[in-house]
Amino acid sequence: MKKKVNFFSRCLVLMLVFAPFIQVFAQKTVVSGKITDAGSGDPIPFANVMFKGTDIGTTTSFEGQYTIETSKRVDSLVVSYIGYITKTKAVSNTVQKLDFQLEENVVNLQEVVFVAGENPAYEIMRNVIRNKDKNDKRSLDAYEYETYSKTEVDVDNITDKFKKRKIMQKIISVMDSVERMAGEDGQPILPIFISESLSKTYYRNNPKLKYENILKTKITGVGIEDGTLVSQFIGSSFQEYNFYQNWLNIVSKEFVSPMADGWRLYYDYDLTDSAYVDSDFCYRLDFFPKSEQDLAFKGTMWITKKDYALKQMDATVTQTANLNYIEKIKIQQELAPTKAGPWIPVKNRVLLDIGEVTENMAGVLAKFYTSNRNIMVDDPKDQTFYAQPIKIEEDFNINNGNDFWNEHRHEPLSSTELNVYKMIDTLKSIPVVKTYTEILKVAINGYKKVGKLDIGPYLNLYANNTVEGHRFQLGFRTNIDFSDKWVLGGRLAYGTEDEQFKYQAFVENIIDRRKWTTIRAEYTKDIDQVGLAAEDLMGNYIFLAATKFGKLIRPYRYEQAKLSAQRELFKGFTPKLVFNYKTFNPLYNFAYYTQPGPDAPLATAFKTSEAIVEARYAKDEVFVQDDNNRISLGTLKWPIFTMRYTRGLKGVLGSDFNYNKLGLNVFNDLKMGFFGTSTISITGEHVFESLPYPLLKAHVGNESIFYTNAAFNLMNYSEFVSDTYVSLNYNHYFQGFILNRVPLMRKLKWRLLATANVIYGQLSDKNLALIPPNTITGEEMPPIHSFQKNKPYVEVGYGVENIFKIIRVDFLHRLNYLDNPDVSNFGVKISFQFIL
C-alpha cells in the first residue's frame, strides 16, 4: 500500500510541474486564411484581424492573407477594415483555416472631430510633402523593372430579374458554377475576360521618357481576340498610378491625391495607429475628402517614420463622387525603397466597379493587378531607346502556354482564376453569346469582320438628299489577317435620283511600324459640299454623315487622286508629304471670273494639283496600334502643333491655278483639377493669291439642331469665306465644380460647361472681284459674306451636360453679324454623349 501511495504522489508532482506546458500545448490556437471583398472577390490588404476579447492581432498582407496565433483560450476572431462591415467568426482552439468575405459598409463619410490643439496627422503630412521629391520614383535618373500584369472583367450585380432575360436563359448552367465560385458570402459573378502579360518597363528622367516592351500576353475573353490593341492596354502603362503626383488621371478624370501639395484644401486626416509594417515602423493615416462629391479618395495610407515615405496605400472613390455609371474605384498599392532612396510600387491592385446602366442590366467589375520585380535604377538608356512608348514583340502571342506562365508569373493563379479561364471558354461556345458579341463589335467599330475583310462603315449605308435621292453605299477594307503590311479598301455608292455611281479605292503600305512610316494612294469620285467637305470634318463622323441628308448646300461633283507618305522622324515629330489632284464641277449656280474685272471671261469648273508639306509635333503624345491602324490617346501635358504648306501647281494634269497657302493649328487639353478641364484650339491660315472662293476657307456652319465642336454652331452653312483668318475654339467643362454645391444638382449630377467660338478673318478685294454679281448668270447665286475689318465673328455659350447621363444642352448667343439674312442671335442645341 505504501508503494502505491508513493507512486500516485510522484505522478501528482509530475502533473503539477508539467501542467502549464500541457495547458499551452492543449490550447495552442493558430488561424490562417484570406480576407476578400464579397462584391468583387478581390483580396483586402491591411485589414485588422484580432482574437475577440484580447489585444492579440495582425493585419493582412497585400494578397489578403493572414496568420494569427495565441496560447490563450479564445472563442472567436474579429475582422475589420475601414469602409467594410466588421465580421466575427467562431474559432476552435486548434490549427484551422478561416476565410472571410467582407461586405462594403455604405454609409456617409465620417466626420473627423479634433480636440484642442493641432491635429497630430498634420505634422506627419507636412513631413510627407517635404520629402516628396526624395521619395518619388520620378526623381531617379532612370529605373527599369519586369512587370507582370493581370486583368479580369466580370459581370456582377446579377439579379433574379436579369437571370430571366432570354440571353441569360442560355447560360444558366454556367451560372450555377459561377455561384459556387463566389464563396459562401460572396455575390455571384460571371467572368467574361481575363488576361496576363509580361513586360519590361523603362523610365528616364531628363528628358522624361518612358518605354514599355510587352514580351508576352495571354488573352481569353468573350468577343475579344488576342490582337495588338488589347495587348497594349493590358500592359502596365495603363495601370500605373503615382500618389506623389498632385493629380491622378483615372478613366479620363482628374482625381486629387491625398498626398497633393494642397492636401489641407481637399482632405481631412486622422492618425489612427502606428505599427511595424514588414521592417518599417509606420504611421497609419485615414483620410476623407472634405466634400463627398469631389473627385477625391477616402482610405488609409501607411507612412514610414524614418523617411516619411508612402509604404502602403488603400484609396477608394465611392459612388457619391460626381461620376457616371461608376460605383467604386479602389486603388491598393505596396511600395519598396530602391538602393538610391526613392520608393517604387512593387504591387498594385485596381478595381473599377461599373454599376447598372438601367434596372434591367447587370454591372461590370474590372480588376487590374501588377507586380514589379528585378528593379534596377540610375542606368538611363540613349534617348532613341524610348522612341516608341509601347512596343509589342512580334511573338507576343506565340509559345505562351501554361508552361511559360507557370515559370514567369510573379505568383500563381488562385483556384478561382483558373476556373475563370475554363468558364470563359464555355461562354464563348454558346451561340446566343456569339451573336450578341458580334452585334456589339459592329456597333463599336462600325465594321463587320468577315474573314480577312471588314465590311462597312455601317454609319454610311444610307442617306437621302436633294441631289442623289436615296443614296446607298457599301464598303470594305482588309484587316491584319490579310496582311500586316498592306491595307486595301474601297466603297461604292449609288443615288436613285441622279442615277450616278460614286466610288473610292485605296491601297496603303505600312513600311515601318516602329517609326510609323506609311505610303497611301487613293482615287475618289463622289459628291461633296463647299464648306462641308469630308476632309474638313475628319473625326466627326456622325456630323459628316448627317450632312448627307436633306438639302445639300453648294454641292459639287469631284474626282480626286491623292498620294501621301509620312514618317515619324523622332518622337513626337511626324512630317507628311501629299500630292493631291482634284476636279470641281458645281451642281449649283456658280461661276467665277478667270481674271479680276467685270470684262473677264467666266468659268464654272476647275482643276487643281497641289503639293502639300505638313509637319506635326506632339511632344508627349501616346499612341497605340490597333492592328493596321495607329490611334492617338492624346498628349499628357504639351500642346500639339500642326503646320501645313500647300503649293498649287498650274499646268500639272491640267491644273488651272498657281497658289500658296500656309496654315497653323495649336491644340491643347488643359487639366485644371477641381476647376475642371478645358480644350483650346487656335487655327490660322493665309492664301497668298487670288482664287475662286471654293479654294479659300469656307467656314463650317451648323444649321441642324445638334451641337458639334467641328462647326460654328450659330453660323449658317458656308455663310462666311476667308482668305486670311485666325480662329479660336474654346470649351470648358466644369465637371462638378459649381453644381456640386447645389443640393438638387448634386443629386442629379448635372455639370456646367462653357464655350466660345471666335474668328477674325477677311476676304481681300482681289478675291471679291472674282465673284460675279447675280445678274451675270441670269439666276440668283448664293450670297458670299466676308468679315468686316476689325470685327471678328463671336458666339458664346453655356450649357448643362450629363442630363439623364447622356444628354447635353447648349444655349448659344451670336453676338454680331446679325444683319445677315436668315440668322439668329440665340439658339438651343442638343447632343448625346456617353461620359463618366
Over 423-475, what HEC string results?
Answer: HHHHHHCCHHHHHHHHHHHHHHHCCEEECCEEECCHHHCEEEECCCEEEEEEE
Question: What pLDDT score does 817 carry?
Answer: 93
Q: Are residues 727 and 785 in the same domain?
A: yes
- Which residue has 501621301 as its cell numbers? 564
Indicate whether 91 and 160 sit together in one domain.
no
Note whether 633 and 723 are same-domain residues. Answer: yes
Q: What are phi and psi of 443, to 5 degrees?
A: -65, -35
> CA 345, CA 765: separation in Å to the nearest integer?
65
Is residue 428 situated within a structural domain? no
Write out the three cell numbers for 584. Answer: 470641281
Residue 426 lies in a domain: no
C-beta of residue 365 within 8 angstroms of C-beta of residue 353 = yes
Range of the domain at 695: 513-832
- For the chain, the helix, strand and coil percentages under 3-state DSSP, each to the nearest 5: 20, 45, 35
Cα gap 791→515, rounded to integer Å: 45
Long-range residue pairs from 416-421, CB within 8 A, at least 24 positions apart, any chain: 416/41, 416/181, 417/150, 417/152, 417/194, 419/177, 419/181, 420/152, 420/191, 420/194, 421/194, 421/220
Here the cell at position 390 is 509601347
All three cell numbers of 303: 507612412
Q: What are 717's three cell numbers? A: 452653312
Bigger pLDDT: 262 or 158? 262
Report residue 334 as a C-alpha cell: 505596396
Instruction: List pLDDT tens digits, range 455-467.
Output: 988 888 999 999 9
- Co-location of 636 and 734 in the same domain: yes
Q: What's residue 173's pLDDT?
A: 59
* Cell triple for 371: 507586380
Q: Across the strands, what pairs with 20?
A: none
Is the model's pLDDT at 307 over the cut of 90?
A: yes
Which are the contacts of 58, defined by CB distance < 8 A and separation ≥ 6? 49, 50, 66, 67, 68
CB 494 within 8 Å of CB 509:
no
User: Domain for residue 440, yes or no?
Assistant: no
Residues of the chain with pLDDT > 90, as a percent, come to 40
- Residues 452 and 31: their CA atoms lie apart, in Å, by 57
Q: Is residue 383 part of a domain?
A: yes
| Residues 6+ away with beta carbon under 8 Å from 10 | none
Inside any domain, residue 283: no
Model confidence at 161: pLDDT above 50: yes
Judge contact between 312 and 335, C-beta under 8 A: yes
List, in sequence order, every beta strand (DSSP E) within 513-572: 517-529, 555-566
Asked if 72 and 164 sit in the same domain, the reply is no
Closest CA to 187 of 316, 82, 36: 36
> What is the per-residue pLDDT across 684-736, written as a single tens digit (0 to 9) for each?
999 999 999 999 999 988 888 888 888 999 998 888 999 999 999 999 998 87
pLDDT grade for 106, boundaries at 50, 70 and 90: low
Q: Of 102, 126, 159, which one is at a domain's C-terminal end?
A: 102
Domain tally, the chain:
3
pLDDT score for 1: 43
Q: Which amino acid is at 329?
A: I
Give the model's pLDDT for residue 680: 95
Task: Report the number of secondary-structure helices (H) and strands (E) in the chain.
Answer: 15, 45
Q: Output the average pLDDT for the chain.
A: 84
Using the 3D structure, point to which of 42, 77, 102 is the last residue of a domain: 102
Q: What is the mean pLDDT of residues 199-218?
A: 88
Q: Where is average pLDDT lowest: 209-213, 307-311, 356-360?
A: 356-360
Q: Is residue 448 part of a domain?
A: no
User: What CATH number is given to the structural domain containing 85?
Assistant: 2.60.40.1120
pLDDT at 751: 87
Coil, strand or helix at 217: strand
What does the pLDDT average to over 550-559?
92
Q: What's residue 110's pLDDT?
A: 46
Q: Is residue 292 part of a domain?
A: no
Report the 10 Å Cβ neighbour count for 360. Answer: 11
Residue 237, C-alpha cell as written in the block: 502603362
- pLDDT band at 542; cut points 50, 70, 90: confident
| Domain co-membership, 723 together with 773 | yes
> Distance (Å, rounded) from C-alpha 105 to C-alpha 85?
5
pLDDT at 492: 97
Question: Are 97 and 152 in the same domain?
Answer: no
Could you tell me which residue, 159 or 249, shows the higher pLDDT? 249
- CA 198 remoteness from chain centre: 22
Which residues, in sequence order, are CB contacts of 598 under 8 Å at separation 6+? 772
Amino acid at site 717: Y
**Domain termination residue (choose one: 74, 102, 130):** 102
Question: Which of 735, 723, 603, 50 is CA-nearest to residue 324?
Answer: 735
Average pLDDT for 69-84: 86
Query: Per the structure block, which three cell numbers stand in for 789?
Result: 475689318
Instruction: Give CA–CA dist 559/440, Å, rounded.
Output: 35
Kindly state the average pLDDT of the residues 540-558: 85
Confidence of residue 19 (pLDDT cuts 50, 70, 90): very low
CA-CA distances (angstroms) from residue 295 to 256, 298, 316, 333, 465?
7, 10, 10, 19, 46
Q: Are residues 678 and 576 in the same domain?
A: yes
- Please indicate, yes or no, whether residues 524 and 659 belong to a single structural domain of this protein: yes
pLDDT in tens, 783-818: 778 888 889 999 999 999 888 878 899 999 999 999
Same domain, residue pair 166 and 55: no
165 pLDDT exceeds 50?
yes
Could you tell me if residue 138 is inside a domain? no
DSSP designation for 622: E
- What confidence tens digit (pLDDT) does each residue in 225-254 have? 655 556 556 556 667 889 999 988 887 778
Where residue 123 falls among pLDDT bands split at 50, 70, 90? very high
What's the CATH code of the domain at 625? 2.40.160
Q: Which residue has the cell 474654346?
A: 730
Q: Is the pLDDT of residue 17 over 50?
A: no
CA proximity to 668, closest of 655, 653, 681, 684: 681
User: Position of cell 482552439?
Assistant: 93
**Among the ranges given (127-131, 173-177, 476-480), the one the predictor scored with the smallest mean pLDDT:** 173-177
d(CA 448, CA 457): 8
Rounded distance between C-alpha atoms, residue 261 and residue 342, angstroms = 18
Asked if 173 and 70 sit in the same domain, the reply is no
CA distance 747 to 12: 75
Q: Any idea what DSSP says for residue 819?
A: T
Q: What is the pLDDT of residue 2?
A: 46
Q: Any idea of the CA torsion for 384, 388, 392, 394, to the nearest 10 degrees? A: -60
Q: Give the separation between CA 473 and CA 504, rounded to whole angstroms.
A: 11
d(C-alpha 110, C-alpha 321), whole Å: 15
- The verdict on 376 and 227 lying in the same domain is yes
pLDDT-derived band of residue 3, with 50, 70 and 90 as boundaries?
A: very low
| pLDDT at 21 exceeding the cut of 60 | no
Q: What is the side-by-side strand order in the sheet with 326-337?
A: 267-277, 280-289, 298-304, 310-318, 326-337, 343-354, 363-377, 142-156, 190-204, 209-221, 390-392
496 close to 464: Cβ distance less than 8 angstroms: no
Which stretch of 27-31, 120-124, 677-681 has the lowest confidence by average pLDDT?
Answer: 27-31
pLDDT band at 13 (very low <50, low <70, confident <90, very high): very low
Query: Can you give the pLDDT at residue 738?
Result: 78
**Mean pLDDT of the 374-384 span:** 89
